[in-house]
Amino acid sequence: MDGNGRWAKKRGLPRQAGHKVGAETFRTIATYCKDIGVKYFTVYAFSTENWKRPPEEVGALMELFRRYLKEAAETMYERGVAVRVLGDLSPLPQDILDLIRETDRIADSLGPDAATASLCINYGGRDEIKNAVRALAKEVESGEKRAADITEDDIAHHLYTAHMPDPDLIIRPSGEIRTSNFLLWQSAYAEYYFTPVLWPDFKTSDMDAAIEAFNQRNRRFGGV
């Protein structure tokens, strides 16, 4: 959800104002995805590197999660979308962990086939792979598994996205052309779409344009 800060700056507003509109865009686009049949929609909300931002901004983002997580889960529940949170949640404050638990409970009540909108919080692709390696190393240490038997599926099953398919399309808004540690393992065969639109300005028509571009791609998955 990149470009919130620049969106706010262009309007002479504090960066947090951009994050607030960005949170609304999340709800709009997540709902749209469900309506057009995209079963999994995943956004990057807070990276393992975002803790380096000024404490006021980190605090404001935590406040945003506090304020919008339950509200988002409830609105999305009414629209039939399960909100999930992915990432290393261990350093988050207890009240946010409680909200995430509540979000999970609401999402569970929609059943396993519901469309899912996931928010990656304290997520980092490398950190995720490191944690998967540690978990597998433990299984090897305890004799439960042989190192030579570790498969790609074993790794995938130890990622936060274990219950989800790999992404087909990754959209990066705001004009930056890099992956920034997002879904590193899962994106092996994803199609990328870069757009200069700042996330708070991202509309359903921008989603249509991204999907249209995706539909023009010739996906070969390493074949011919």
Residues making contact with ligand FPP (CB under 6 A): 1-6, 15, 19, 22-23, 26, 45-46, 50, 61, 64-65, 68-69, 72, 119, 174
Cα separation, 154 vs 162, in Å, equals 10
Is residue 153 annotated as a catalytic residue, yes or no?
A: no
**Shortest CB 22 distance to ligand FPP, Å:** 3
Cα separation, 38 vs 48, in Å, equals 27
Give whichever of 24 and 108 is closer to ligand FPP, judged by the CB atom: 24
CB 197 within 8 A of CB 206: yes
* Given 2, 4, 127, 206, the catalytic residue: 2
* Given 35, 50, 113, 149, the catalytic residue: 50
**Shortest CB 28 distance to ligand FPP, Å:** 11
Cα separation, 43 vs 121, in Å, equals 9
Is residue 154 annotated as a catalytic residue, yes or no?
A: no
CB 198 within 8 A of CB 7: yes
Residue at token pair 């990656």? 120
**Shortest CB 47 distance to ligand FPP, Å:** 7
**Reduced DSSP (H G I as helix, E B as strand, rest coil) percent helix, strand, coil of the chain, to 5:** 50, 15, 35
Give whichever of 53 and 157 is closer to ligand FPP, judged by the CB atom: 53
CA 86 from chain center: how many Å? 7
**Shortest CB 159 distance to ligand FPP, Å:** 21
Ordered strands of the 115-123 beta sheet: 40-47, 115-123, 81-86
Give whichever of 4 and 42 is closer to ligand FPP, judged by the CB atom: 4
Give whichever of 15 and 34 is closer to ligand FPP, judged by the CB atom: 15
Q: State the DSSP code for 46.
A: E
Nearest-CB residue to ligand FPP?
Answer: 5
For 136, the token pair is: 């597998």
Catalytic sites, residue numbers: 2, 50
